[in-house]
A and B are shown apart, each in its own frame.
Chain A
Amino acid sequence: MFDLDRWREIFQTLSKNKLRTILSGFTIAFAILLFTLLFGIGNGLKHSFEREFAGDAQNSVYIRSGRTTKPYKGLQSGRKIQFKNDDTYFINKEFEDKIQFFSPNIERRNVQAVYKGEQNRYTVRGVYPDYQPLESAVIQDGRFLSVLDLKKRAKVIAIGRLVEKDLFGELSAMGKNINLDGISYKVIGVFNDPGGDGDERHIYTPFTTAQGMYRNNDEIDRFGLTYNPKLSVDESLAFTNLLTKLLKEKHNIDPRDQSALRVQNYAEGTKQVQAIMMALNVIILFIGIGTLIAGVIGISNIMVYIVKERTKEFGIRKAIGATPKSIIGMIMLESIFVTAIAGYAGLLIGVFILKAIGDSLEKYFIVNPSVETYVVVGATIILIIAGTIAGYIPAKRAARIKPIEALNDE
């Protein structure tokens, strides 16, 4: 394959026919450049979408209570619905097979947190260990709450990354004691949360500890759960509908009463987000394929034109002893060489531009616009193959044509 003389011949042909070389190279480079840019920007849109909706587990359900707005079974409207510990057992028992993670939740807002003179106010939540995956919280140091902490009603807390930053600056909060409304809690873990700054200013303590501390009874503020991720969107909606119905029955709420008990299934949102993501993916794919087709057509046209233009030259070469194979080989190598080099150049320029402008596009809802290397390399290979085929067909015809006809071609 590597034959110095052959390459020398090809380099000469390419460099002596600069316009032709630049034209075909430019087509390829431009197609790959456009492909990279459009694909990258499309990916940027996708990234920003993903970030926007990555706050909580996609299959999460939150159950909250309020006041009744309709009288039911002799009970007046305006009655406050209060969850209690038996609701935890009830939900666990009825839906054990559907539920993946489950946690009751006690919330106390504006809790004063003090550490050595630094202080701030945060929301403190009493939860089960299962709450961590519910919030998509990621442990950065130490650990999250454990079942043992719950059993012991331990005065331990897991704090958000920004709580640590507020109170400890650059130092580690691990193992230190923070004073929450006058009671000392030991920090056992620091987490970050893709949901953003608000979620990273939360403090989690064992549910039992919080219930004892803030309620002194068996009341619960709300429930959070994730359903089995194998459930389809429709199955999950059926599950939450049944959950709502049973809980309403249990608490003697009119089935039509919307505000006494609210079950919020993210699946409804998820369904929309998925539809939008799907649409984005289709658009990106469409853009990619469209650009590629434009490139393929461009390079094919140019190859057909080049071969046509060179018919006479091939005739001369054949008259002085070139075999058809050597003619085809020459055209192929030329076209592969030009498309590969130009494609690579387009790729480099495209990636460079994306890197250069990437950050400044965030205000246009485009985050980290980038293209997977294999996608661009794949696109370049497709164009090389297209250029090769586009060159091969007329090359074969040119090589097969009788030298005398080729010589007479003007």
Chain B
Amino acid sequence: MIIIKDLHKSYPMGKDSLHVLKGLNLEIKEGEFVSIMGSSGSGKSTLLNIIGLLDTHDKGEYFLNGQLIENLDEKKAAILRNKFLGFVFQSFNLITYKNALENVALPLYYKGIGRKERQKTAMEYLDKVGLTDWANHLPSELSGGQKQRVAIARALVTNPKVVLADEPTGALDSTTSHSVMELLKEINREGMTVVVITHEEDIAHETDRIIRLLDGVITSDERTKKVKV
């Protein structure tokens, strides 16, 4: 699903540049549940942004779903994101003036799907995250865990190939974090590739594979010993 070869990325910092990713090699197969760990500044968010086509890489090769990603303009990137990727962010990133249902339906709008069908599909996914009763509430009326569930429903609604979650539990308490991870696990069980970025060990251990990053290189890549249910 995701193949990365010798990936480099640096950010210009005044006259110098900050070399964030220093030749990463990584392969994530379809249906995997992977976490990427590292302290802040290790390059984990940068890696996720590149995988998520939110940012571009400088050097190396990146295949998404067998397609080589290069010279993407914004338009192509937007279409690929819409088609293949779903995002879950630490700060939820819901649109504040849209209710839960409308937030979930928005990716379908950009996919060009009709209004009735958008509503129907969005409702199905809200049901899946257990928020049917909250469909008409604004994000400000929802708890943190509920907001993240809405965000997950939004990430799933286009039926993407990969769900990318950047510190999905970073803003949640431990009980809520656990339930959000349970939800991601369930999605994974249904066959979705899920990549989670986190700096919390216990969150990482809920996934099947932990990739550790330090200063822009992968230091370890191991399967968790946890037995798959």
Q: Report if A326 contacts B (CB, 8 A).
A: yes
Partner of A320, one of B55, B74, B97, B154: B154
**B83 neighbours in A (Cβ, 8 Å):** 321
Q: When each residue 255-293 of chain A gets 1 if its CB lies under 8 Å from chain B and 0 otherwise, what string results?
A: 000000000000000000000000000000000000000
Contact in complex: B54, A326 (CB < 8 Å)? no
Q: State how many angstroms separate the Cβ of B211 from the closest Cβ of chain A.
A: 20
**B74 neighbours in A (Cβ, 8 Å):** 318, 323-324, 399-400
Q: When each residue 177-197 of chain A gets 1 if its CB lies under 8 Å from chain B and 0 otherwise, what string results?
A: 000000000000000000000
Given contacts A16-B98, A320-B82, A321-B82, contact A407 B110 (CB under 8 A): no
Restricting to B74-124, which residues have a CB under 8 Å from any CB of A? 74-75, 78-79, 81-83, 87, 89, 93-98, 102, 106-107, 109-111, 114-115
Q: Report if A147 contacts B (CB, 8 A).
A: no
Partner of A407, one of B78, B81, B89, B96: B89
Partner of A404, one of B55, B79, B97, B110: B55
- Look across to chain A and name the residue whose beta carbon is closest to the beta carbon of B52: A319
- Look across to chain A and name the residue whose beta carbon is closest to the beta carbon of B89: A407
Given contacts A399-B74, A400-B74, contact A319 B55 (CB under 8 A): no
Q: Report if B158 contacts A (CB, 8 A).
A: yes
Q: Report if B159 contacts A (CB, 8 A).
A: no
Instruction: Give the docked Cα–Cα distance between A322 and B111 (Å).
Output: 9
Chain B interface size range: 20 to 34
**B94 neighbours in A (Cβ, 8 Å):** 316
**B49 neighbours in A (Cβ, 8 Å):** 404
- Look across to chain A and name the residue whose beta carbon is closest to the beta carbon of B75: A323
**A312 neighbours in B (Cβ, 8 Å):** 93
Given contacts A319-B87, A321-B81, A321-B110, contact A17 B158 (CB under 8 A): no
Instruction: Give the docked Cα–Cα distance between A322 and B106 (Å).
Output: 9
What is the count of residue pairs linking A and B with beta-carbon distances less than 8 angstroms? 69
Restricting to A4-21, which residues have a CB under 8 Å from any CB of B? 5, 8-9, 12-13, 16-17
Q: Which of A5, A313, A319, A326 has the most CB of B within 10 A?
A: A319
Q: Report if A402 contacts B (CB, 8 A).
A: yes
Q: State how many angstroms separate the Cβ of B119 from the closest Cβ of chain A.
A: 12
Restricting to A319-375, which residues have a CB under 8 Å from any CB of B? 319-326
Instruction: Give the docked Cα–Cα distance between A407 and B90 (Å).
Output: 11
- Look across to chain B and name the residue whose beta carbon is closest to the beta carbon of A410: B91
**B82 neighbours in A (Cβ, 8 Å):** 320-321
**B96 neighbours in A (Cβ, 8 Å):** 313
- Look across to chain A and name the residue whose beta carbon is closest to the beta carbon of B96: A313
**A5 neighbours in B (Cβ, 8 Å):** 109, 114-115
Instruction: Give the docked Cα–Cα distance between A402 and B97 (Å).
Output: 23
Partner of A323, one of B78, B102, B106, B107: B78
Q: When each residue 1-41 of chain A gets 1 if its CB lies under 8 Å from chain B and 0 otherwise, what string results?
A: 00001001100110011000000000000000000000000
Chain A to chain B contacts (Cβ below 8 Å), 27 pairs: A5-B109, A9-B109, A12-B98, A13-B97, A17-B97, A313-B95, A315-B93, A316-B93, A316-B95, A318-B78, A319-B52, A319-B87, A320-B107, A321-B81, A321-B111, A322-B78, A322-B110, A323-B74, A323-B75, A323-B79, A324-B74, A399-B74, A404-B49, A404-B54, A407-B54, A407-B89, A407-B93
Chain A interface residues (CB < 8 Å from chain B): 5, 8-9, 12-13, 16-17, 312-313, 315-326, 399-400, 402-404, 407
